[in-house]
Amino acid sequence: MKLRMLIALCASIATATPVAGQTLSAVERSIASAVDARADEAIAFLERAVNINSGSMNFDGVREVGALFRAEFDALGFETEWIDGAPFERSGHLVARRDGGGPRLLLIGHLDTVFEPSSPFQSFVRDGDRAGGPGVVDMKGGDVIIIHALKALAETGQLDRMSITVVMTGDEERSGRPLSLARAALITAAEESDIAIAFENGDSNPATAVVARRGSTGWRLDVTGSPAHSSQLFQPEVGAGAIYEASRILREFYVRLAGQPLLTFNPGVMLAGTDVDYDAFTAGGSAFGKSNVVAGNAVVTGDLRTITLDQLAEARATMSLVVGENLPNTSATITFDDGYPPLAPTDGNHALLAHFDQVSRDLGFGPVAAVDPRNAGAADVSFTAGLVEMALDGLGPGGGNDHTVDEWIDLPTLAVQTKRAAVLMHRLTLRPGA
């Protein structure tokens, strides 16, 4: 499926009259009705999922949530597989697949949350149209939308003609390592797909969707100097010391890179002194030194966020160049830990957003605009960049305060987003003349 063909498909519907219901077909009205009929069931299923602790490091809990969703996919006729996570030190991933016609859709979710069994936040609690609970909006609500959109498509006879792969990762909140193994199943699925649709909550506003996400790359700076009595600082045999060199490097990062659109390079931890002990796992450590001793070591760690792969490459090259311009009698190295790649705002992604926007208008839910990439952190959909013709994220429910014990969901948005997703999938796979 060529990009121009997919964009033409999206454009043909995006130019339809944006009046609620006027451009909905009989099938699409039936899809929306099927979603409404199962609205209470969807909320009950969400409660079951939320009440199973699935913190990223609670492997048994993640597998239990995976089994809950796997049963739903099995009932819908998908071929399902649990990918064991032992090679990347996590629980694993759920993959579901069924073959039909048209472009292959890749639907993306994740099973884990940031709330481990030690958290005080463990249960689904409802208060009218609002409910709180661990992962209720990030992103078990999005996972439920996937299931119930597929159920609506099945009930209206549309699912059998679709080619769909679903990947629900078990470590999105705390990715396994090496990342190449932890995301191998997702990358393989993307390579075999044409369109990726992800159900993270984006900025938790159903009036928006995500066409671009910045990537996240870790970096570590190690600096050495020549320890000596402070009275000899700046002498040829002593030089500037590790702290001055680390400070120079960080300042040059700022001078040469600050101000580029959507580029950030944050130093999050810094330790320096005569002796430094840094623990990467805890992102902390200790440092010892004296005010009358020139520092011999410094360690700085941080992250680098970019909107395109080219921007990432250029930033890394600049940072490496700065690190090599050492003050006297100092040396420094920088290493990069490739994390989540950026999802660039491509023409295909914007075309898919225009299509989704039209679906929303036709359903009577109003327009959908793109999220500012600065407000969209790294997510699994980014691993589809360059592998699918178009991608869109942020189709999860509305709510807020995710990653905190005040996380909540606006329950009516479950049905809203499910209708949008189901009609979107229907239109994307509708054969000409059908």
Overall domain count for the chain: 2
> pLDDT at position 7, please?
56
| Strand, coil or helix: 109 | strand
Mean pLDDT score, 215-224: 96
Same domain, 12 and 83: yes
**135-175 confidence digits (pLDDT tens):** 999 999 999 999 999 999 999 999 999 999 999 999 999 99
User: What is the model's pLDDT at position 378?
Assistant: 82
| DSSP letter for each residue of 381-412 | GGGGTTTSSEEEB--S--EE-TTSTT-EEETH
* Residue that finishes a domain, picked among 275, 310, 340: 340
pLDDT of residue 281: 80
In a domain, 85, yes or no: yes
**% of the chain beyond a pLDDT of 90:** 90
My answer on whether 98 and 165 are in the same domain is yes
Query: Does residue 164 lie in a domain region?
Result: yes
Across residues 352-362, what is the average pLDDT? Answer: 98
Domain termination site, one of 309, 340, 371: 340
pLDDT of residue 15: 43
Same domain, 47 and 191: yes
CATH number at residue 380: 3.40.630.10
Section 43-62 average pLDDT: 98
Q: What is the pLDDT of residues 102-132, one digit of tens each?
A: 999 999 999 999 999 999 999 999 999 999 9
Which pLDDT score is estimated for 46?
98
pLDDT tier for residue 14 given thresholds of 50, 70 and 90: very low
Query: How far are the Cα atoms of 71, 75, 312 from residue 80, in angstroms, in the given order?
Result: 9, 10, 36
Indicate the length of the chain as a whole number.
Answer: 434
Confidence band, pLDDT 50/70/90 cuts, at residue 16:
very low
Per-residue pLDDT tens over the stretch 178-211: 999 999 999 999 999 999 999 999 888 999 999 9
Specify if 354 maps to a domain.
Answer: yes
Residues 95 and 177 in one domain: yes
Q: Can you tell me the mean pLDDT for 302-319?
A: 96
> Both 51 and 132 in a single domain?
yes
Per-residue pLDDT reduced to its tens digit, 259-294: 999 999 999 999 999 999 999 888 889 999 999 999
318 and 386 inside one domain:
no
pLDDT-based confidence at residue 13 (cuts at 50, 70, 90):
very low
pTM > 0.85: yes or no: yes
Are 284 and 351 in a shared domain? no
* Whether residue 184 sits in one domain with residue 48: yes
Q: What is the average per-residue pLDDT within 414-429?
A: 97
Asked if 265 and 324 sit in the same domain, the reply is: yes
- From CA 334, how far away is CA 328, in angstroms rounded? 18
Q: Average the pLDDT over 34-40 and give the result.
A: 98
Q: Does residue 434 lie within any of the structural domains?
A: no
Residue 402 confidence class, pLDDT cut points 50, 70, 90:
very high
User: Is the model's pLDDT at 20 over the cut of 50?
Assistant: no
Summarize the confidence of residues 60-68 as an average pLDDT: 98
d(CA 40, CA 48): 13
Choose the final residue of a domain: 340, 374, 397: 340
pLDDT of 6 = 58
pLDDT score recorded for residue 21 = 44
The DSSP-derived string for 21-69 is TTT--HHHHHHHHHHHHTHHHHHHHHHHHHTS--BTT-HHHHHHHHHHH
Greater model confidence, 375 or 239: 239
79 domain residue, yes or no: yes
Residue 386, Cβ neighbours under 10 Å: how many? 12
Q: Is residue 124 part of a domain?
A: yes
Q: Which pLDDT score, from 0 to 100, does residue 229 have?
A: 96
User: The CATH number of the domain where 255 resides is what?
Assistant: 3.30.70.360
> Same domain, yes or no, for 241 and 351?
no
Q: Which two tokens stand for residue 357?
A: 């926007």
Instruction: Looking at the structure, tell me whether residues 208 and 230 fall in a common domain.
Output: no
**Residue 348 is assigned to a structural domain of this protein:** yes
Residues 152 and 270 in one domain: no
Range of the domain at 249: 215-340
SS3 433: coil
Residue 433 belongs to some domain of the structure: no
* pLDDT exceeds cutoff 70 at 431: no
pLDDT above 70 covers a percentage of the chain that reads: 94
Residue 11 has pLDDT above 90, yes or no: no
Q: In this structure, are residues 306 and 214 in contact, taking their beta carbons and an 8 Å threshold?
A: yes
